[in-house]
Chain A
Amino acid sequence: MILKHQDKSLLSVRNLTVGFHVGGVTLDAVRGIDLDVARGEVLGVVGESGSGKSVAMLACLGLVPRTARVAGSVRFQGQELVGMPQSDMRKLRGSRIGMIFQDPLSSLNPVLTIGAQIVEAIRLHQPGISRKQASDRAVELLDLVAVPEPDRRVTQYPHEFSGGMRQRAMIAMAVANDPDLLIADEPTTALDVTVQAQVLDVLKSLRDRLGLGIVLITHDLGVVAGNVDRVAVIYSGRVVEAAEVGALFRDPRHPYTRGLLSSIPKLDEKRERLFSIEGTPPPLGRRPPGCAYHPRCTYARGVCATDDPALRVAGESLSACHFADCLEEIPVHQALAGAEIAEVRQ
């Protein structure tokens, strides 16, 4: 769908669906999403907790529980990953595709040294390398992600590392085998703001130095702003808007994106209260008919409750909104009042 980079695509996700069997029914957490990442590019995947963004990326790597049903296509360097045997998948994980997670404390094994965990990552995919060589490489890697005193740090345990240092160690482990793609699942969420910036700098410098493609999963548009090339906004298991990062901030074409942007506090504006989108995302299995966002949408009309809009070109974006082309004509403040919305939705 995001045609722009398809020719040199590193990861190409088409119509990916992930469902879970719960009590006899299948609940779709991901409902047909398309994504593309090119070499040397950072794709931001934005969405609230429970939107399906993490599940989608885990499904790409075959890391969802055995009970999950994954359909659609995920091509990585031309290889189809959906339905690939676990043994082949294992050879890609940690070697061609690295992954880091939200909480760097719980994602490192507490009883193994940082060095041992990096060495393991190396030797799993390069069994010919001696322990000594792998251990030297681990020190180099820690140095690469700007961990001070790497030769001392390599013998320490995760609990002896600070949060930011742990996330760097995770990144070092994820890039240990020079992967082509790095999937970073909320890598800065558990960190202080200043440390966030440092970790993001590390990621960007790796992208520049190693030519990595990066998928940066986040719920924080602030993180997206300075750090990604393109953005896919996910709501309730679908991509609702996809655009170059500049275009997305300049001219958002989906009411949900607009809502997210309005809820970022700005330094130059005086506001009594922070703006927030009313309501919460629908739980799995109780998704409303039509556009999943319509109950929370200030632009919603009758059609929104019946037809789920497809993703289509609108301005510089791809947007899944019936009114993507005319959102400007419906100023947010004059959008339908509560009673009218109720009437429209009847």
Chain B
Amino acid sequence: MSGYLIRRLIAMPFLILGIITITFFLSRVTKGDPLTAIISEQQMSNPEVVAAAKQRWGLDLSLPEQYLVYMGKLLTGDLGTSFTTKRPVLQDLLERLPATLELVIAAMVIGTVLGIALGVLAAYYRNSWIDHGSRLFALVGSSLPVFWSGLSLLFILSVQLGWLPGPGRLDARLQPPPMITGMISLDTLLAGDLTAFVDALHHLILPAFVLGWTVTGTISRLVRANMLEVLNQEYVLTARAKGAGELRVLLHHALRNTLIPTLTVIGHSFAYLITGAVLTETIFAWPGMGSYAVEAARALDYPAIIGVTVVGGVTFLVTNLLTDIAYMFANPRIRLS
């Protein structure tokens, strides 16, 4: 198994290069003119300005030349400069990614804990109202679009009841913490500012729940199905015959045997949400990767598009790798083969 993981690690840089190459050419065959993002509409009619801009941003070169220039810069760690923000893409990403990570990690914690708990309960109390209730909750979570559930919950909990703050990451009246990790909740804690920390958590909880709810559905249904199968296994009877209590039977004996498919879904959901949380980020004014990706695509901002794609690709590769490593802990047969 460790040999397999090493081979996977070696393959990763090549896969990333492949992703970059494909994205590079795909984005460039798309109809549209990136110049509209670089210069204003009036300047578009001035051939001199257009020519200068093209030269300045390297768009006058042929496609293979552009590719070679880009790859050359990439080797020095330069992901290019965004057409829209006019800043290095790497810098943009480093600012955006922590916000998304904060949101997605919180969402995954909520989604996974709720999903597993509901799945286990539903399987144990099969066909009871607990089962039906948890399945309904899961179904609603995975079918409601986040722009609906997000806006509704925001309206009820923030506007009507005033229990939670509105969009944003931190109350405007509070001093933002010095940037260490880029995750505000963590940075406020590191800075020792408890008031800001509590406020950051208050801002985080609703978007994280809305995003996590979508994951809850997938996880709880999967856990329920697998638990139903495992609970019929003879080793569950053995555990009871040993004198183990029901909670121990469920969590220590049964749940452990359902972990592999659950881990797969958790890993996949996490990677997907890193670039796929656009709607939630938009509704909650969360300056993350999703909104950056949409802006980049709309403006045909080639460097930014590739930057976002690289982050997405790397996230998938890394989470897949971590999932494989987690398999080894979950199942001794995989570890030893």
Contacts and interface: CB of A to CB of B under 8 A. Distances in A.
A170 B238 contact: yes
A111 B332 contact: yes
Interface stretch (A42-50, A95-103, A338-346): A95-103
Contacts, number: 74
B242 A107 contact: no
Given A106-B233, A157-B332, A111 B238 contact: no
Contact of A124 (B244, B330, B332): B244
A174 B244 CA distance: 13
Nearest to A104: B234
A125 to B, nearest CB: 6
A108 B238 CA distance: 7
Contact of B331 (A93, A102, A111, A125): A111
B86 interface: no
Contacts of A140: none
Contact of B242 (A106, A124, A157): A124
A109 interface: yes
Of the listed residues B240, B252, B330, the one surrounded by the most CB atoms of chain A closer than 10 A to its CB is: B240
B243 A95 contact: yes
B244 A120 contact: yes
Given A109-B235, A111-B330, A157-B333, A63 B241 contact: yes
Interface string B234-251: 110111111111000000
A159 B336 CA distance: 11
Contacts of A120: 242, 244, 252
A143 to B, nearest CB: 20
B23 interface: no
Interface string A107-147: 11111110000001100110000000000000000000000
A81 interface: no
Contact of A125 (B240, B243, B257): B243
Given A103-B234, A157-B333, A159-B333, A109 B239 contact: yes
Contacts of A110: 235, 257, 331-333
B221 interface: no
B253 interface: yes
B73 interface: no
Contacts of A103: 234
A159 B252 CA distance: 19
B256 interface: yes
Listed residue (A98, A107, A109, A159) with the most chain B CB atoms within 10 angstroms of its CB: A109
Nearest to B257: A111
A225 B112 CA distance: 55
Query: What band does the interface of chain B fall in when counting residues whose beta carbon is under 8 Å from A?
Result: 20 to 34
Given A106-B233, A110-B333, A111-B256, A93 B240 contact: yes
Contact of B241 (A93, A109, A113, A160): A93
A101 B234 contact: yes
Between B235, B241, B245, B253, the greatest number of chain A beta carbons within 10 A of the residue's beta carbon is seen for: B241
A94 B235 CA distance: 14
A281 B58 CA distance: 86
A103 B238 CA distance: 11
B243 to A, nearest CB: 4
B241 A94 contact: yes
A70 B258 CA distance: 32
Which one of A90, A95, A111, A120 has the greatest number of beta carbons of chain B within 10 Å?
A111
A61 interface: yes
Interface in A154-202: 157, 159-160, 170, 173-174
A170 to B, nearest CB: 7
Given A106-B233, A111-B330, A111-B332, A121 B242 contact: yes
Nearest to B233: A106
B233 A90 contact: no
Contacts of B234: 101-103, 106-107
A5 interface: no
A8 interface: no
B238 A90 contact: no
Nearest to A87: B245
A21 interface: no
Contact of B238 (A95, A101, A157, A159): A101
A106 B244 contact: no
A91 interface: yes
A61 B241 contact: yes
B240 A63 contact: yes
Contacts of A61: 241
A94 B238 CA distance: 9
Given A111-B257, A111-B330, A101 B237 contact: yes
Contacts of A98: 241
B214 to A, nearest CB: 29
A129 B242 CA distance: 17
A107 B237 contact: yes
Interface string B312-337: 00000000000000000011110010
Nearest to B239: A109
A90 B245 contact: yes
A199 to B, nearest CB: 16
Interface in B177-198: none
A173 B242 contact: yes
Interface in B240-295: 240-245, 252-253, 256-257
B235 A108 contact: yes
A103 B235 CA distance: 10
Contacts of B245: 90
A63 B237 CA distance: 8
6 contacts: A101-B237, A101-B238, A103-B234, A120-B242, A121-B242, A170-B238
Given A110-B331, A170-B238, 17 more contacts: A61-B241, A93-B240, A94-B241, A99-B241, A101-B234, A101-B241, A106-B234, A108-B235, A110-B235, A111-B331, A111-B332, A112-B253, A121-B242, A121-B243, A157-B336, A173-B238, A174-B241
Sorted nearest first, the 5 A-B pairs with minimum C-beta distance are A94-B243, A94-B242, A99-B241, A107-B234, A106-B234
Interface of A: 61, 63, 90-95, 98-99, 101-103, 106-113, 120-121, 124-125, 157, 159-160, 170, 173-174
